[in-house]
């Protein structure tokens, strides 16, 4: 099993971009449902300074954690991909 983290924080993205990662109400449940396609376990951490998705995967970086974020937010992450970090 492999643990990965993907996200943005106050060092990598301005507030205007971080605000796009806010999950409210029914979007939280949808995010966890979507995470089942990519990971066996998932934790989403969202504060005013960061948004991170921790995933436990069977294979290293397969599929890409960015695919989960695209699935959660229903859009491509191309405009903000440079602000994302993944470990």
Catalytic residues: 48
How far is residue 56's CA from residue 28's CA, in Å, rounded to a whole number? 18
Q: Which two tokens stand for residue 75?
A: 């859009």
Rounded to 5 degrees, φ, ψ at 10 are -65, -20
């Amino acid at each position: 099993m492999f643990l990965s983290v993907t996200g943005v924080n106050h060092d990598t993205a301005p507030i205007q971009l971080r605000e796009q990662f806010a999950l409210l109400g029914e979007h939280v449940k949808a995010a966890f449902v979507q995470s089942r396609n990519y990971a066996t376990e998932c934790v989403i951490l969202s504060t005013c300074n960061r948004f991170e998705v921790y995933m436990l995967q069977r294979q290293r970086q397969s599929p890409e954690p960015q695919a989960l974020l695209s699935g959660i937010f229903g859009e491509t992450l191309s405009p903000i991909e440079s602000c994302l970090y993944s470990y």
